[in-house]
Structure 1
Amino acid sequence: MSSCFDLPEDIVVKILCRLPVKSLIRFTCVSKRWCSITSMIISDPKFGKSHFQLASQQRALRRKVLLTSYPTVREPGPRPNACYDPNSKLPPRFQSLEDKYLVKNFTFPSKKNAYTEEMGSCNGLVLVGNPCFGGYENLSIWNLSTGFFRKIPSPSVREKLIKSATDQAYRYFINFGFGHELASDDYKLVFILCALGQLVEVHIFSMRANIWKAITAPHLSRADWDSGQGTFSNGAIHRVVHCRSESSDPVIYAFDLAEEEFRQVPLPPVLWQNEEDRNPTEITTLVHLGGYLCIWSRKRYNPDKGEVWAMTEYGVPESWVKLFNFRVPDLPDVFASLYSTWDLCFITESGTMVISLSKELFWIECHNDEKPICSGRYRLEEVHPEVPGCVFHFHATAYDETLLSVAE
């Protein structure tokens, strides 16, 4: 076994670059020598980038489901409801859903983990933060695969949010997003500050420069913004914005991380062929693991129908392609009585919808005109084993298994 390290170092690195992250981390447990050599290589940021680039080119990234479970309590009464417990000392649970639905638990690296939320993922780096009275605090970047953890300083916008929270006539909202700017190899966090439906400021944190900066937001006519998370795709943070006028169509606004400016992305025009369905249609952006910008539309007053579209050539209106067109009665029987509570989490590279419903995840195949089928199902642990009356609310998202880190 010792002779394997008699190879030139560049050959060893090329071999290791072609191995999955899970195997590389296991090598550190073989022996002290393996631990020393392998740890030194995989902790090198340059190796992490090379490993990620090669895996991306060969479509060999290990994609997994990150489950974040938040503690909730049941309100007393004849019809108890679960609600968040802001005073709970129970930390959230971070788990990875592995192959064959095996669960791997992660230990959060910081002691300040009470009510920590997952706020987005990009290239295996997960953005986490604590929701608070003024937005978010204790922001950090975390690589669950390697344990890399880096804190992000709080933005100055938080002070403005705290002051506005008591002013009912002028309350602020935050849209946020997290993504990678390819040209400068920089990861950026964006907070879009809104008031009375209008953009006010955009606060941008550069991981490379380690600073926040604020820019004045442009006036975007007819837009009515609210709080929420944007979708990162093609170098920009996307969000569907509904307009004040009911006779106006919603639009997708994209904040370009390189240019640090907004642009409008066209929606599929066929969504509006039926004028009667125009107003009640709700549209949101979502993640397609193949790299496409996707939208999910369903009827506001009749949510048992849904459509999913993908923009196969970014920025080209004619490239919108309908991936799914389904009705809840066509889905597996479990959806029939609970359709109003289901949510579409993301779409896999192979085109499978991953849907959350109550305390379960479902993998739904819905191709062409065939009847949708359930190809996978996983039920989460609902009740806390040590705390009576405590249950978990969960959020599911996709993340990549990588060795990437971001130096300060």
Structure 2
Amino acid sequence: MSSCVVDLPEDIIVKILCRLPVKSLIRFTCVSKRWRSLIISDPKFGKSHFQFASQQKTLRRKVLLTSYPAVIEPGSTPNACYDGSWKKWAEDKFITLFQSLDDKFSVKNFTFPSEEIEDLEEMGSCNGLVLVGRPCRDHYKSLFIWNPSTGFFRKIPHPSFRMKSGRYFLNYGFGHVSASDDYKLVSVVPAPNDMLEVHIFSLSANIWKVITAPYSSYPCWVNRHGTFSNGAIHWVTPCGNKTLDPVIYAFSLAEEEFRRVPLPPVLWQNEEDRNPTKITTLVHLGGYLCIWSRKCFDTQGGEVWAMTEYGVPESWVKLFQFNIHDFRNVFDVEQSPWDLCFITEGDTMVLRLNKELLWIECRNEEKPVCSGRYRLEKVQPKLSNLAFYFRATIYDETLVSVAE
């Protein structure tokens, strides 16, 4: 019986490949140079594959772990790397380590495609592209766009900030404009004459542009890292201001302008001057704009709210309220510094503490339950005064790239 090789048309092959998972496609890059170029380097194919996976709800999401050592200042507490009284190791250079963690807790180590790998941080992710850099107080030392799934990598030129006094903090965010299929990095800094400079980098145009806005849009945002949701980057103003109610400032990436998004008034109606409420935006994998509310000087728990209809103040709903003492059987709540990383599509909280990630299920009035935990492997040498610090965020496993 003779064998028969069917030579399929190119468009049919592309349609078939678009329906396969990223993991399989990466293996198929060894079939031929054409397949490798298509899968790894073709932005059009990467976009088509992402759109199909999004429509079919087959996108795989992984946790990106970014870890690096930090030196504890003399006289500081053992938890100093979490309360800000730590500094980066300066004399002996230690590289930043990147790892992925899937839903079965299997770990993959990445080789970052640049020699500039000291003190890098993950600064945001969108559609599988991760913004990586070294954001200092008032400037950047390095900026990159990276797809961990394919190795796609681009260095971003540094913006030119007019003010470099070291007296303000650089605020930033990263997201996607659906209408123009462009990815944008936004950096917000004060400018002379009580104005605000918004530096916007377009990946498709490969240039920075600068627009100005009234300084009143920037009283003092709680987090430097803005959260991307519904086409905009979001920051929260602090509570405790007797003249201004706390509000979310959203910068639309399409219109390139600020707008205000109201917060639930119940969060600060009984505000105490000595212990104000701290509100920060969160990543919710269901696509909602999400916030975490807790007291500044009370780390015992908090409330998580979601805006179920974007831009509609009446659509804020409280997803859950939790107290850290409910987790006494999971970890030492008195000694372990912790942070809330993100919320899954199923409304599961992912907490970071010491060298662990915890998946916490909160259902109605029932007690929170720990449904999963992962402890980071020891990846740094033991040295005196050396603490271990890591971040955890979510990224989509995609083939997305952006041509220069």
TM over 0.5: yes
Give how far 1:280 is off. Answer: 1.7
The answer as to whether partners of 2:190 and 2:196 remain within 8 angstroms in 1 is: yes
Which residue is 2:346 aligned to?
Answer: 350
Q: C-alpha deviations, 1:383-408, integer Å up to 9, x for none?
A: 62486764421000000011010111
Look up the match of 1:66.
64
Secondary structure at the aligned position of 2:26 is classed as: helix
Tell whether 2:41 aligns with 1:36.
no
CA contact (8 A) 2:271 2:277 kept: no
Distance 1:77 1:138, change over 3 A: closer
SS of residue in 2 equivalent to 1:38: helix
Aligned to 1:160: 163
Q: Determine helix, strand or coil for the equivalent of 1:172.
A: coil
Which runs of structure 2 are paired with 1:106-125 in the superposition (5 Å)?
106-125=110-129
Report deviation, 1:124.
0.6
**C-alpha distance after superposition, 1:281-323 (max 9, x if no partner):** 1100010011110000011232213110111110011111111
Tell whether the 8 Å contact from 1:68 to 1:94 is kept in structure 2 after alignment.
yes
Tell me whether 1:252 sits opposite 2:248 in the alignment: yes
Inter-partner Cα distance in structure 2 for 1:77 and 1:313: 48
**1:360 is matched by which residue type in structure 2?**
E
* AA at the equivalent of 2:93: K
Amino acid at match of 1:296: W
Letter of the structure 1 residue corresponding to residue 49 of structure 2: H
Give yes or no for contact 2:125–2:174 (8 Å, CA) kept in 1: yes
CA separation of 1:195 and 1:358: change in aligned 2, threshold 3 A = farther
**Displacement after TM superposition at 1:5 (Å):** 5.8
What whole-Å deviation, never above 9, does each CA across 1:215-265 have from its counterpart, x for those lacking one?
112242783346610000001000001267336431100001111110000
**Structure 1 pair 407–326 and aligned structure 2 pair: CA distance change class (3 A):** same
Q: Any idea what SS the aligned residue of 2:304 has?
A: strand
For residues 62-211 of structure 1, what are the structure 2 equivalents within 5 Å? 62-73=60-71, 83=86, 84-132=88-136, 134-157=138-161, 160-161=163-164, 164-165=165-166, 171-194=167-190, 200-211=196-207
CA distance in 1, matches of 2:10, 2:212: 50
Which letter does structure 2 place at the counterpart of 1:215? Answer: I
- TM-score for the superposition, normalised by structure 2: 0.90
Shift of 1:132: 4.3
SS at match of 1:99: coil
Structure 2: 5+ residue stretches without partners:
none
Which letter maps to 2:95?
P
Counterpart residue number, 1:15: 16
Q: TM-score with structure 1 length normalisation? A: 0.89
Partner of residue 168, structure 1 = none
How many pairs align? 394
Query: Aligned partner of 2:35: which letter?
Result: T
1:320 and 1:4 map into 2 onto residues whose CA distance is 58
In the other structure, the counterpart of 2:281 is 285
Does 333-342 or 303-312 show the bigger shift? 333-342
Q: CA RMSD in A?
A: 2.6
User: Counterparts of 1:277 and 1:309 in 2: how far apart (Å)?
Assistant: 23
2:54 corresponds to which residue?
56
User: How far apart, in 1, do the equivalents of 2:297 and 2:233 lie?
Assistant: 28
Q: Distance in 2 between matches of 1:387 and 1:221?
A: 44
User: Which deviates more from structure 2 when the two are superposed, residues 214-223 or residues 102-111?
Assistant: 214-223
Three-state SS of the structure 2 residue aligned to 1:249 is: coil
Please give the per-residue CA displacement for 1:169-226, whole angstroms capped at 9, x wherever unaligned.
Answer: xx23211000001111111110000379x75211111111111111112242783346
Q: Match for residue 325 of structure 2?
A: 329
Letter in 1 for 2:36: S
Name the SS for the 1:330 alignment partner.
Answer: helix
CA contact (8 A) 1:324 1:367 kept: yes
Query: Structure 1's 73 and 3: CA in aligned 2 closer, same or farther, altered over 3 A?
Result: farther
The alpha-carbon distance between structure 1 residues 39 and 255, as it changes in their structure 2 partners (threshold 3 A), is same
Contact 2:239 2:278 (8 Å CA) reproduced: no
> Paired residue for 2:27?
26
User: Distance in 2 between the 1:325 and 1:91 partners?
Assistant: 38
- Matched residue SS, 1:114: coil
Q: Per the alignment, do residues 300 and 138 of structure 1 end up closer, same or farther by CA in structure 2, a change over 3 Å counting?
A: closer
In the alignment, is the contact (CA less than 8 A) between 1:383 and 1:390 conserved in 2? no
Q: Is the 8 A contact 1:222 1:245 kept in 2?
A: no
| Contact persistence 2:240–2:277 (CA under 8 A) | no
Deviates more, 1:186-195 or 1:258-267: 186-195
Mapped to 1, the partners of 2:378 and 2:307 lie a distance apart of: 37
TM-aligned CA distance change 1:348 to 1:4, over 3 Å: farther
Cα 1:227–1:3 shift into 2, 3 Å: farther
User: Which amino acid is the alignment partner of residue 38 of structure 2?
Assistant: I
Distance 1:221 1:180, change over 3 A: closer
SS at the partner of 1:362?
strand
Is residue 96–residue 120 contact of structure 2 (8 Å, CA) maintained in 1?
yes
One-letter amino acid matched to 1:67: L
Amino acid at match of 1:40: S
Distance 1:277 1:288, change over 3 A: farther
